[in-house]
Amino acid sequence: MTKNIHPIERAFRIILGVGLIAFALVGVESSWGYLGIIPLLTGLAGWCPPYYLLGYSTCPVHVKKKK
C-alpha cells in the first residue's frame, strides 16, 4: 500500500474523524457520527481506497535527480 494522502490532508482527516466520533459519543444521539471512523482510519493509514481506485493521489512525489 503506497500512501496516497498528503500529510496535511491526513491531519485534517484525523481531526475530522475524532471530532465526529466525539460528537456522536457526547452530543447528538445519532449513529451518523460513527462515520467518523472512516476518515480516522484513512488518515491514520495514509491510504484512501477511492483514491486508489481512481488513480488519484494528493501525496507529494519526490523525484530523485540523476547525476
- Write the DSSP string, the chain: ----S-HHHHHHHHHHHHHHHHHHHHS-S-GGGGGGHHHHHHHHHT--HHHHHHT---SPP-PPPP-
* In a domain? residue 37: yes
* In a domain? residue 44: yes
* Structural domain total, the chain: 1
Mean pLDDT of the 20-32 span: 82
Residue-wise pLDDT for 32-50, tens only, equals 788 999 999 999 999 999 9
Q: Which residues contact 45 (CB under 8 A, 6 or more apart)?
A: 1
CA 57 remoteness from chain centre: 12
What pLDDT does 30 receive? 74
pTM tops 0.85 = no
- State the average pLDDT for the chain: 86
* In a domain? residue 62: no
Cell output for 66: 540523476
Mean pLDDT of the 18-29 span: 85
* In a domain? residue 17: yes
